[in-house]
Amino acid sequence: MTENTMLIVDDSGLSRMMIKKFAQASKPNWQIIEAEDGEDALKKCQGQDIDYMTVDYNMPGMDGLTLCIKLRELFPQAKISLLTANIQNSVKDRADELGVIFIQKPVTEDKIKTFIHS
Amino acid sequence: MIKLTALQKDALGELLNIGMGRASASLSEMVGEEVELSVPHVNILPYKEAVNSVSENVGKEVTAVRESFKGAFWGDALLLFPENQSLQLVKALLKDQELPIEILSEMEQEALTEVGNIILNACLGSLSNIFEQNLEFELPKYSHGSCSEVLKQDKRTLQDQHNEGVLLLQMNFSLEKTKVNGYLTLLMDVDSMEALSKQLSIYFGGAV
């Protein structure tokens, strides 16, 4: 069976490290692609088939929701989550409108597990 | 110098309390221990006195994460730690990662920036939700040095207006097991303070 590919976009190396660790604890065979901002993510996902994505909101360059719109066009079937410390209702509402799952930081194993089993 | 009424001070303290409650829940989730909170302090002070007040609490040498915010009101939010305590927090945060001390030291800046980002966003985000006003945050910045250097503004906001005073909102938190004390500080200039008072008045239906 083909294993899934997960894209992790976060400008914090620490966050990427933790998300990756928790994802691999549940799904050790998944391919993980890490990107540090929106532009890097769009470059690295070229030619890939991405199934799951976690996207931070506050990053240098484009914000996470702008990136989610672009990623949604490229991967209409993918499960996308906005994984952010920004808990404002306005951000949550925009994520909802885009069909993006909102996950509040800090990153925990349970939150990542729930997302990748959703 | 502009003054806040006792009721406005009380309301601001209560809102900071709610914001910090949310922030401490996030911190507690990160380090797996209870976070104790102080009562909130709300003051309008000349800029220099505000710096002195922070320095008296946190110490002369500090490690800080700063996030500027703008929207219906604006200013700087800082998470401050006494110089020698930030590594303790990073250790507590990464306790399950089994990383050697050299790597922990290397990761200190990055880890603290992310902790600051989560705490400051949780606090300001709940204020934004209470007022139903969107706030935009700049990216978090890590700094380290003397308290006055760390608090120094690189923008117009506080420096040009220090004679008129700044609004200083401060709350301390501590982790008993990890032995870390941190200080969340919000600094706002006079115009922002007035904009915030307007929001308070709307929120409390003109009672404040």
- pLDDT above 60 (res B154): no
Q: Which pLDDT tens digits describe chain A residue by residue (118 residues)?
A: 568 999 999 998 888 988 999 999 999 999 999 999 999 999 999 999 999 999 999 899 999 999 999 999 999 999 999 999 998 999 999 999 999 999 999 889 999 999 999 8
Pick from B110, B111, B121: CB nearest A85: B121
Q: Are B45 and B173 in contact (CB under 8 A)?
A: no
Q: Are A77 and B156 in contact (CB under 8 A)?
A: no
Neighbours of B56 (CB within 10 A): 10
Q: Are B169 and B16 in contact (CB under 8 A)?
A: yes
Neighbours of A42 (CB within 10 A): 16
- pLDDT above 60 (res B162): no
What residues of chain A lie within 8 A of the CB of B126, using their CB?
87
Instruction: State the nearest Cα–Cα gap between B105 and chain A, in angstroms.
Output: 13
Could you read off the pLDDT of B42-95 as tens digits, one per residue? 988 888 888 899 999 898 899 999 999 999 999 999 999 998 788 888 888 887
Give the pLDDT score at B163. Answer: 59
Mean of the pLDDT values across residues B155-182?
Answer: 75
Give the pLDDT score at B101. Answer: 76
Pick from B29, B111, B132: CB nearest A108: B29
Give, in order, the Cα–Cα distances in Å from B207 to each of A9, A51, A103, B199: 45, 52, 36, 12
| B61: its two tokens | 């040498």
Could you give the CA distance from residue A85 to residue B122 in angstroms, rounded to a whole number? Answer: 7
**Chain B residue nearest residue A89, CA to CA:** B129
For strands A5-9 and A31-35, give the pairing.
Answer: parallel
Q: Determine the length of chain A.
A: 118
| A74: its two tokens | 């490229």
Mean of the pLDDT values across residues B136-165?
Answer: 75
Look up the pTM and report it: 0.84
Instruction: State the nearest Cα–Cα gap between A47 and chain B, in angstroms.
Output: 30
